[in-house]
């Protein structure tokens, strides 16, 4: 189906598909100030996500809570809380295999605990969107900004099925 043929129609959540050219060049500009978590919430609201799986871990727990509000408002079809980061990434894979538009968010040590799932996502070509909120991984506990988990995510062994991941959104705090 041609992507231009859906312009002006509504998705299952009642949102109207809009031409990106209009959004970028013709739509009125209103100055606004958002935190990183609020930007993530707005992006998810516009993306028609079917499934959000979360395991709150600092500093991305605010984003997970705001996306929970979107579930309450009906913009996200299903919202689940995982029992650990490995489980979250496995649930994302299951939802994506089932045809859902899946989103998750993770940070620092949680990313490292879930690392075993990422090559499977890549090898199966699963279109899962993920926000990685970077924080320190070292011991003792650190929530200082760091990008070590991004280094591991971008290594070829992690994304074995593709030359590079489709989309990894990295946020700092």
- Confidence tier at 94 by pLDDT (50, 70, 90): very high
Other beta carbons within 10 Å of 49: 24
**Contact by Cβ (8 Å): 44, 67:** yes
Q: What is the pTM of this model?
A: 0.74
As a whole number, mean pLDDT of residues 145-171 equals: 60
**Contact by Cβ (8 Å): 76, 12:** no
In whole angstroms, give the CA distance from residue 64 to residue 68.
6
- Domains in the chain with CATH codes: 35-171 (3.40.50.970)
Task: Give the model confidence (pLDDT) of 6-38 as tens digits.
Answer: 788 887 778 888 888 887 888 888 888 888 888
- CA angle (41 as vertex; 36, 42 as ends), nearest 5: 100
**Contact by Cβ (8 Å): 10, 17:** yes
Regarding predicted confidence, which is higher, 41 or 167? Answer: 41
- Confidence tier at 173 by pLDDT (50, 70, 90): very low
- Confidence tier at 158 by pLDDT (50, 70, 90): low
In whole angstroms, give the CA distance from residue 137 to residue 122.
24
């Amino acid at each position: 189906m041609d992507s231009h043929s859906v312009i002006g129609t509504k998705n299952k959540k009642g949102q109207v598909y809009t031409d990106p050219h209009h959004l970028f060049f013709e739509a009125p500009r209103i100055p606004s100030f958002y935190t990183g978590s609020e930007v993530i919430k707005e992006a998810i609201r516009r993306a028609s996500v079917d499934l959000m799986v979360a395991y709150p871990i600092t500093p991305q727990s605010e984003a997970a809570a705001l996306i929970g509000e979107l579930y309450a408002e009906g913009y996200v079809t299903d919202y689940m809380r995982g029992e650990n980061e490995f489980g979250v990434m496995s649930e994302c894979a299951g939802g994506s295999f089932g045809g859902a538009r899946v989103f998750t968010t993770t940070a620092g040590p949680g990313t490292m605990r879930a690392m075993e799932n990422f090559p499977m996502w890549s090898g199966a070509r699963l279109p899962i969107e993920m926000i990685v909120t970077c924080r320190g991984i070292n011991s003792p506990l650190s929530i200082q900004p760091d990008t070590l988990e991004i280094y591991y995510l971008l290594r070829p062994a992690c994304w074995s099925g593709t030359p590079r991941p489709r989309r990894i959104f990295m946020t700092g705090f």
